[in-house]
């Protein structure tokens, strides 16, 4: 990681990654307990806050990737796409 990078940008990137990971883990948990995935359900209305709107897009993209059969890198048995 670039040490000259703005700490706020670094923290924002870390939060985006954590949110994406959370969405993936939530889907995996719901699949284990037999709950229907929310990937096919309509999304909530978009927020006027661009950061929240972006976070919603990240989670939706992760759910779409999970629904398509793609996995995240680092999960045993997965492959990068």
Q: What is the pLDDT of residues 2-31, one digit of tens each?
A: 566 799 989 998 999 999 889 888 888 888
Q: What is the pLDDT of residues 48-80, one digit of tens each?
A: 677 777 877 888 887 777 666 655 445 555 455
What residues does each domain of the chain span?
A: 13-67
| Per-residue pLDDT at 32 | 86
How far, in Å, CA of 77 to CA of 73, rounded? 9
pTM: 0.39
How far, in Å, CA of 12 to CA of 73, rounded? 20
């Amino acid at each position: 990681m670039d040490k000259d990078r703005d700490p706020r940008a670094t923290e924002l990137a870390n939060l985006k990654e954590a949110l994406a990971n959370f969405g993936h883990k939530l889907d995996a948990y719901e699949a284990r307990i037999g709950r229907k995935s929310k990937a096919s359900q309509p999304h909530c209305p978009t927020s006027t806050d661009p950061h929240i709107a972006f976070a919603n897009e990240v989670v939706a993209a992760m759910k779409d990737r999970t629904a398509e059969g793609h996995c995240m890198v680092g999960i045993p048995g997965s492959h990068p796409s």
